[in-house]
């Protein structure tokens, strides 16, 4: 492992810890407070990281945490759409982040009674997961199988 990888691992661990701590702190907060807490922690984390790649990853992780907390609380659809668009603009770092976040949002829409929007999220995701299944091995294959099961389970409710 190179010195750069050591730094990246240390930075990543600090960022993960700070965002996890923010999630716990915001668990019983209002949605406005959730946004403020994560914006503050995101700014702090951005100062911790040393590369543009890590800065992008900080923004992605913070956005993923926010949307999950907003979905958990059945926030207004407009807020969830805005957060989802923010994540889509940032891009997903990998299929695992994309699948777990998109499934989370699809579940939110199902709870809201918007089956069409949930279906519109799950169908393209299912195609990506199918592609991944054809190229995965080992632990990665297990993850793809779980995501495929989740897609099928929630599509059946659409």
User: pTM of the entire structure?
Assistant: 0.86
Task: State the CB neighbour count (10 A cutoff) for residue 34.
Answer: 23
pLDDT of residue 121: 97
What is d(CA 97, CA 102) in angstroms, rounded to the nearest whole number?
8
> Rg for the chain (alpha carbons), in Å?
17
What is d(CA 59, CA 49) in angstroms, rounded to the nearest whole number?
11
pLDDT of residue 7: 43
What are 12-26's pLDDT values in tens digits?
888 989 999 999 988
Q: What percent of the chain has pLDDT over 70?
A: 95
What is d(CA 71, CA 76) in angstroms, rounded to the nearest whole number?
9
What is d(CA 34, CA 153) in angstroms, rounded to the nearest whole number?
30
Give residue 78's pLDDT band: very low, low, confident or very high (50, 70, 90): very high
Six-digit token pair at 97? 């982040």
What is d(CA 28, CA 31) in angstroms, rounded to the nearest whole number?
9
Six-digit token pair at 13? 């661990």
Ordered by start, the domain boundaries in the chain are 1-73, 94-158
Q: Name the residue with tokens 């995501």.
A: 147
């Amino acid at each position: 492992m190179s010195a750069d990888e050591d730094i990246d691992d240390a930075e990543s661990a600090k960022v993960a810890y700070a965002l996890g701590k923010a999630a716990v702190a915001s668990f019983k907060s209002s949605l406005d407070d959730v946004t403020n807490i994560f914006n503050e922690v995101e700014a702090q984390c951005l100062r911790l990281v040393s590369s543009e790649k890590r800065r992008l990853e900080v923004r992605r992780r913070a956005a993923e945490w926010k949307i999950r907390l907003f979905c958990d609380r059945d926030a207004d659809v407009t807020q969830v759409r805005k957060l989802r668009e923010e994540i889509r603009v940032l891009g997903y770092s990998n299929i695992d982040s994309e699948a777990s976040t998109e499934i989370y949002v699809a579940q939110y829409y199902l709870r809201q009674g918007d089956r069409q929007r949930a279906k519109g999220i799950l169908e393209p995701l299912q195609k990506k997961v199918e592609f991944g299944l054809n190229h995965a091995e080992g632990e990665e294959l297990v993850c793809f199988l779980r995501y495929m099961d989740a897609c099928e389970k929630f599509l059946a409710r659409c």
